[in-house]
Structure 1
Amino acid sequence: MNSVPLEARRDLLKLRILYLFTGLAGGLFNPYLTALFVHQGIGADVAGVLMSAGTLLSILVQPIWGILVDRFRQTKLVLLLSITVPACMSFFYRFEYIALIVAAYILSIAFQATQSPIADSYAVSAARAAKTSYGTIRSLGSLGTALGGYAGGTFLSYFAITQLWMPFLTLSLAGAVTALTLSMRGNEMSSSISLSRGLKDLLGNPRFVLFLVACFFVNQTLTAYNSFFVLSFQGAGGSYSLVGTALLLASLTNVPSMLLAAKIVKGIGHERTLLLAAFFYALRWGIQWLFPIPSVMVGIQVLHGLSFGLFYVAAVEYVAAASGKEMQATGQSIFTMVFSGLGGIVGNLLNGYLFYHGGADYMYLACTISALAGAGLLFVISRMAAGTRAKLM
């Protein structure tokens, strides 16, 4: 570490703190958002449609944010807005006016959409400068999410769900203050080529396109956890305090997975790591489909790190390797548009419909099948990569 420049070490520490605060805020608030909407008079199926519409908006605004960042080099400003605007909008969820809730949610999504790709672009570059792995930064976000999820369950044991905006706002603003102290090097991390050129180059790579499709099939299932786990858990007889324990356990497992991800990728490669994580996704949903019991639903969250944690770190690093230095921001934006965007839209629509009309059993069965489909595509990618390496030898 002594050979690492002081500025790089400082940025590494600040980014870890930033991920911790934003993880705490998101873990405390996001898992309960659907339950909050239902509490305020919005049906579960309508909530699914609303979240899908929000995710569609996030896809549409991604290129706009990309152009603004690339043209004006205001990476830090955009990152600050992506944290503070959703935090301030959460205040309006406490009012029982559906139009106001919808407006606040849509505005939040419009700004929040760019947070992940810009933060990840910062993190990947900072990790390289500090001669460490992206997972050592991202794991702090998972630790924050774990503690936030547990804190949210505890908070709701004593306070109304309409008051959840207060700790969310406080933690988000703490993250924004941390982001404000980041060096201006982040403004140089934007793509040096146009967004349209970056899209053409990346989407002209068949293996990268197949990777995106696999990510879509795998990640659309995650909405069963992000949007509907609290409702399905309550439907199975679980309490708010116990769901907080489940969320804590799930996110805590991300920490060792993300810390070890670099070693696993180095040992078996990006493609096989992604394939392994996809199978853990399928196993996770399959068990919840077969055993819809609160104690089992809590215990099975130990697979969250081996599914999401391992998959996400391997995917971000795969995109970084495939994009090259000149297209880091563009590559991460495309990945986010598919992984969180399209996957989120279809996942919220499909899982909201299945949950509302068929119950959690139908939802988890569909997730199992989708994860297996993604695993099949990743197996094909793994074979393609192995064939390419064999030709180069």
Structure 2
Amino acid sequence: MENTAIIPLEARTELLKLRLLYLLTGLAGGLFNPYLTTLFVHQGIGANLVGVLMSIGTLLSIIVQPVWGLLVDRYRQTKLVLLLSICVPASLSFFYGFKYVAVIIMAYFLSIIFQSTQSPVADSYAVSAAQKGRTSYGTIRSLGSLGTALGGYAGGLYLSRFGISQLWMPFLALSLAGAATVLTLSRSTERNASAISLTQGIRELLGNRLFLMFLVACFFVNQTLTAYNSFFVLAFQDAGGSYSLVGTALLLASLTNIPSMLLAARILRSIGHERTLLLAAFFYALRWGIQWLFPVPAVMVGIQVLHGLSFGLFYVAAVEYVAQASGKKMQATGQSVFNMVFSGLGGIVGNLLNGYLFYSGGAQMMYLACTVSALIGAGMLYWINRKSKLSS
């Protein structure tokens, strides 16, 4: 927790606004995103085509994220880009209610182009505000996890009363509330234009060997998360679990992010970024290893308490590590490149690999491969930690 007695009022106000922004966008995303594939199928798009659309969307987000980051760093239009990343997808969600496949696909791809920059740009804003407010990025990001958990639950309640084609209405309302919060944010982080060219900045960032190794480690660690995001429900049912227990497991996993992200500041101060990343990677491996060894529904529910210690802790430490490695001039670019590897490439390869493993050898083969992958990432992070010690 920050010491409010020595933090300027402007910085405290900015932190409050950003926490509200993460809560509102978390609510909007948690309410809408989990049901998007179901909405597409309901509107007449075949399940096989939906999978293709999602893959193309992920690839598109990988392509546009660094472009947005470079534009933000060059022209210092953080607020404008953040507004667009919230308002455009929210407005386009109206078109998902049309029973025209071409209209839905066009709206979806345009949404991806703008929405893909929301997380890295918001993170660059939050890291800067956290530093000024003498607190941790995790105390801001945890509100996003709370919003996602509550939004997913609220989405289920909404759909029990209204049709899925009307889900865009609460999504639009919550998103516009988030956009209104963005309008109140300070423009202090945008005052100085970048003194370096775009190509020079990206070359310097990717020319850092430790940073490149960090990205590769993140890929090996986070590609395993698709075993939870995409295949947990199927694996849980194969183990004999019920739908009611699935909901309990998913809610438990989301809620564990909150204390982990709040405690991240103390852990980072105590052992540093590199060791925190290594610790979180170990919890990833432990999480998958236990599910590999004990494919029992009760164990698979209980093990979700490690979601916060794996994903939640890793993500906060990684975002702050990227902020430190990127420097003030390349914040949005650094976060975009990280997000491109962490969520983009990791998501595509993870879905393809874990999907193949699940359908060819079952959940146990998938969890074993995830354990090995997380341990490889942990080994790379151990090497980074040793190198950082030698250079310090």
TM-score (norm 2): 0.89
Identity of matched residues, % = 78
Partners of 1:121 and 1:328 within 8 A in 2: yes
Give me the whole-angstrom Cα distance separating, in 2, the residues matched to 1:67 and 1:279: 33
Mind listing any 5+ residue stretches in structure 1 that lack a counterpart? Answer: none
Structure 1 residues 172 and 98: CA distance shift in structure 2, 3 A? same
Structure 1 residues 87 and 333: CA distance shift in structure 2, 3 A? same
Give me the whole-angstrom Cα distance separating, in 1, the residues matched to 2:315 and 2:243: 27
Please tell me the root mean square deviation across aligned C-alpha atoms, in Å. 2.7
Partner of 1:281 in structure 2? 284
Partner of 2:304 in structure 1? 301
Displacement of 1:146: 1.9
Pick the aligned partner of 1:59 from 52, 62, 66. 62
Partner of 2:264 in structure 1? 261
* Residue identity opposite 1:312 in structure 2: Y
Residue 87 (str. 1) matches residue 90 (str. 2): yes
Displacement of 1:28: 2.3
* Residue identity opposite 1:324 in structure 2: G
* Residue identity opposite 2:83 in structure 1: L
Pick the aligned partner of 2:220 from 189, 207, 217. 217
Pick the aligned partner of 2:368 from 362, 365, 370. 365
Give me the whole-angstrom Cα distance separating, in 1, the residues matched to 2:33 and 2:238: 19
Partners of 2:58 and 2:344 within 8 A in 1: yes
- For residues 70-112 of structure 1, the C-alpha deviation after alignment (integer angstroms, 9 at most, x for no partner) is 4443211110111122223333444555444433322211111
Give me the whole-angstrom Cα distance separating, in 2, the residues matched to 1:128 and 1:75: 17
Give me the whole-angstrom Cα distance separating, in 2, the residues matched to 1:121 and 1:150: 28
**Number of residue pairs the alignment of both structures matches:** 389
Give me the whole-angstrom Cα distance separating, in 2, the residues matched to 1:55 and 1:74: 24
Structure 1 residues 157 and 356: CA distance shift in structure 2, 3 A? farther
Displacement of 1:289: 3.8
Displacement of 1:46: 5.1
Give me the whole-angstrom Cα distance separating, in 2, the residues matched to 1:179 and 1:374: 36
Partner of 1:316 in structure 2? 319
Partner of 1:334 in structure 2? 337
Partners of 1:35 and 1:230 within 8 A in 2: no
Q: Where do residues 202-213 of structure 1 align in structure 2 (5 Å cutoff)?
A: 202-213=205-216
Partner of 2:181 in structure 1? 178
Partner-residue secondary structure (3-state), 2:82 = helix
Displacement of 1:48: 4.2
Pick the aligned partner of 2:18 from 15, 19, 42. 15
Q: Where do residues 70-219 of structure 1 align in structure 2 (5 Å cutoff)?
A: 70-95=73-98, 97-188=100-191, 191-219=194-222
Partners of 2:25 and 2:147 within 8 A in 1: yes
Partners of 1:189 and 1:329 within 8 A in 2: no
Q: Where do residues 375-390 of structure 1 align in structure 2 (5 Å cutoff)?
A: 375-389=378-392
Mind listing any 5+ residue stretches in structure 2 that lack a counterpart? Answer: none
Partner of 1:374 in structure 2? 377
* Residue identity opposite 2:350 in structure 1: G
Give me the whole-angstrom Cα distance separating, in 2, the residues matched to 1:367 and 1:96: 39
Structure 1 residues 265 and 271: CA distance shift in structure 2, 3 A? same
